[in-house]
């Protein structure tokens, strides 16, 4: 019989080994729980593999989280079928590892590929199949597809079908839809998540569920509740929407010297009241212009529009509601919807649709950045805009210039009930503000100044944006609003501080669903621990 001391030392030895080599246990576990054990070995990337760094950085959008100090995953899994995801979930629980799910790598705070505790990244890049059914105006799209790939398949299948999603083609469908998702068709058809009709989800138990088997509470939560909370969505079934063969776009810049302030002030009153076929957003940023005294700093407001119709009708609408902009026919461009997607993705006019298949973000966007969001329910006074120019645009270093993008609501967004999905920002919203500031390098001096600048801008706008709560968009996740406690439980009261900002009155239902889900997860973890304890007991008995 082994002595008591020997048993204790052996137990500590096993515990230390588990902590140091849980990634080895995870790797050994994967083939046991997936179909085609030989195949999955080719889909695993560890820090000693030559492929590891390139896979990790392949879709990393925010270079602020690409430093030597940034925590790295101990393993990256690039599944090719749902069984590989099932294996990753089961084995991560068994070996006490966190999972991060990455579909496009655009998570603003790097949460799809960064964690504080030992973690594994499940990168969905190999799961990007798209099936478009023109007859039923529906499509199945896997979560690893980018919006560009999805648009490409739709555009090749039909020039009068579309999907109401965003402007950036390298965003992954999985994370995008899970947080709501908006774009040029927002005022006509609502969010991407509003148009989801089914989904394939791998849950905490490794089960593959669809809408019928997961139940309506869970189906409600995954459409706008944010990703990586309730499981891994493998694919979404969505309704495609009708668009005319010809749409009209324009992009008209105006500087302060061209009355940009008065134009923005006027736009606040009418942007959400246009017919729902028209969306006119405003991009604001600092710029240098040539003057009599040399280069001078100014602010440029660029009015970007998509109209579901021809240029002549758009000109009539603008002359009736917004003549101050001075739009002329030469500003307008008539294109198909898919050509609009290419143009507003940042590619030159007349580019081939093939550019949408490029999964690498444009270099101009792949830098360090910080983003924030706000919703505006009452028009801001002109003095508020003028104060903003002086504080945050005119008196800045060129490398620290913030930008913000204002998207009008109204139309269909004002008709959908706030409780339909977790995303609550509906009736009464005039427009959403998306703040961004870019810089080169990580948390260097320029980075710290940039963070201070955008936080100052956010503070400055406090009196003019939504209140009680100050609303925020969950897909523009902002850790300034709050985070979970590290190493200990986060209370409901703590989570509510930022949960209400993202979900408003939907937060309680969201948390009930999440708690039910966590109870299931806890039951699974307890079962795993009991099974391990049984194995340990048997090993001790053999030692005796």
* Positions marked active-site: 476
Q: How far apart are CA 39 and CA 37, in angstroms?
A: 5
Q: How far apart are CA 91 and CA 30, in angstroms?
A: 6
Q: Any idea which residue has 């940023």 for tokens?
A: 285
How distant, in Å, are the alpha carbons of 113, 283, 372 from that of 105?
8, 24, 18
State the helix-helix crossing angle for 507-543 and 492-503, rounded to 10 degrees.
Answer: 130
Q: How far apart are CA 318 and CA 66, in angstroms?
A: 45
Backbone phi, psi, residue 435, to 5°: -90, 140
- Is the Cβ–Cβ distance between 465 and 476 less than 8 Å? no
Q: Is 39 in a helix, a strand, or coil?
A: helix
Backbone phi, psi, residue 68, to 5°: -65, -25
- Is the Cβ–Cβ distance between 170 and 104 less than 8 Å? yes
Q: Is 461 in a helix, a strand, or coil?
A: coil
Measuring CA to CA, which residue among 342, 252, 365, 334 is closest to residue 300? Answer: 252
Strand segments (E) across 93-146 = 98-102, 119-123, 130-133, 138-142
CA angle at 25 for the pair 22 and 28, rounded to the nearest 5°: 155
Specify the long-range contacts of residues 204-211, CB closer than 8 Å, at least 24 apart: 204/89, 204/93, 204/231, 204/517, 204/520, 204/521, 204/524, 205/520, 205/524, 206/33, 206/86, 206/87, 206/89, 206/90, 208/82, 208/86, 208/234
- Is the Cβ–Cβ distance between 528 and 520 less than 8 Å? no
Q: How far apart are CA 71 and CA 50, in angstroms?
A: 18
How distant, in Å, are the alpha carbons of 8, 10, 19 from that of 15?
11, 9, 6
Sign of the CA dihedral running 339, 344, 350, 354:
negative
Q: How far apart are CA 309 and CA 245, in angstroms?
A: 8
- Is the Cβ–Cβ distance between 106 and 153 less than 8 Å? no
- Is the Cβ–Cβ distance between 461 and 406 less than 8 Å? no
């Amino acid at each position: 019989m082994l002595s008591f001391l020997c048993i204790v030392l052996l137990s500590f030895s096993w515990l230390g080994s588990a902590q140091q080599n849980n990634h080895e246990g995870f790797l050994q576990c994967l083939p046991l729980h997936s179909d085609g054990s030989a195949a999955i070995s080719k889909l695993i990337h560890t820090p000693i593999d030559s492929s590891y760094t390139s896979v990790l950085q392949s879709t990393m959008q925010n270079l602020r989280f690409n430093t030597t100090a940034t925590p790295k995953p101990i393993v990256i899994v690039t599944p090719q079928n749902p069984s590989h995801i099932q294996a990753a979930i089961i084995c991560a629980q068994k070996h006490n590892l966190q999972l991060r799910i990455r579909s496009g790598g655009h998570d603003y705070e790097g949460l799809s590929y960064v964690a504080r505790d030992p973690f594994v990244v499940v990168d969905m890049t190999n799961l990007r199949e798209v099936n478009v059914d023109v007859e039923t105006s529906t499509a199945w799209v896997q979560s690893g597809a980018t919006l560009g790939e999805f648009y490409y398949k739709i555009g090749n299948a039909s020039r009068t079908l579309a999907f109401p999603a965003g402007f950036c083609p390298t965003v992954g469908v999985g994370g995008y839809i899970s947080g709501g998702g908006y774009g040029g068709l927002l005022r006509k058809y609502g969010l991407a998540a509003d148009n989801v009709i089914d989904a394939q989800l791998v849950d905490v138990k490794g089960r593959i569920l669809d809408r019928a088997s997961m139940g309506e509470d869970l189906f409600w939560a995954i459409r706008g509740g944010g990703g990586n909370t309730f499981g891994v969505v493998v694919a979404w079934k969505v309704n495609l929407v009708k668009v005319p063969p010809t749409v009209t776009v324009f992009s008209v810049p105006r500087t302060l010297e061209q009355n940009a302030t008065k134009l923005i002030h006027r736009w606040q009153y009418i942007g959400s009241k246009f017919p729902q076929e028209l969306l006119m957003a405003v991009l604001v940023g600092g710029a240098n212009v040539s003057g009599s005294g040399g280069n001078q700093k100014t602010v440029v407001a660029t009015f970007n529009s998509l109209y579901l119709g021809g240029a002549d009708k758009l000109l009539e609408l603008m002359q009736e509601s917004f003549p101050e902009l001075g739009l002329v026919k030469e500003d307008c461009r008539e294109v198909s919807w898919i050509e609009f997607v290419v143009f507003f993705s940042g590619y030159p006019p007349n580019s081939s649709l093939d550019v949408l298949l490029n999964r690498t973000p444009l270099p101009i966007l792949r830098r360090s950045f910080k983003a924030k969001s706000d919703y505006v329910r009452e028009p801001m006074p002109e003095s508020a805009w003028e104060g903003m120019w002086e504080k945050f645009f005119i008196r800045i270093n060129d490398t620290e210039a913030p930008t913000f993008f204002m998207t009008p609501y109204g139309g269909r967004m004002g008709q959908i009930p706030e409780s339909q999905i977790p995303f609550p920002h509906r009736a009464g919203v005039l427009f959403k503000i998306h703040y961004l500031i870019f810089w080169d390098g990580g948390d260097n001096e320029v980075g710290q100044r940039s963070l201070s600048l955008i936080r100052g801008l956010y503070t400055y706008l406090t009196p003019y944006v939504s209140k009680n709560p100050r609303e925020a968009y969950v897909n523009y996740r902002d850790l300034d609003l709050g985070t979970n406690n590290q190493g200990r439980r986060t209370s409901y009261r703590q989570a509510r501080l930022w949960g209400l900002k993202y979900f408003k009155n939907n937060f309680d239902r969201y948390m009930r669903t999440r708690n039910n889900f966590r109870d299931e997860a806890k039951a699974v973890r307890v079962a795993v621990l009991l099974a391990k304890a049984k194995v340990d007991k048997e090993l001790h008995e053999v030692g005796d």
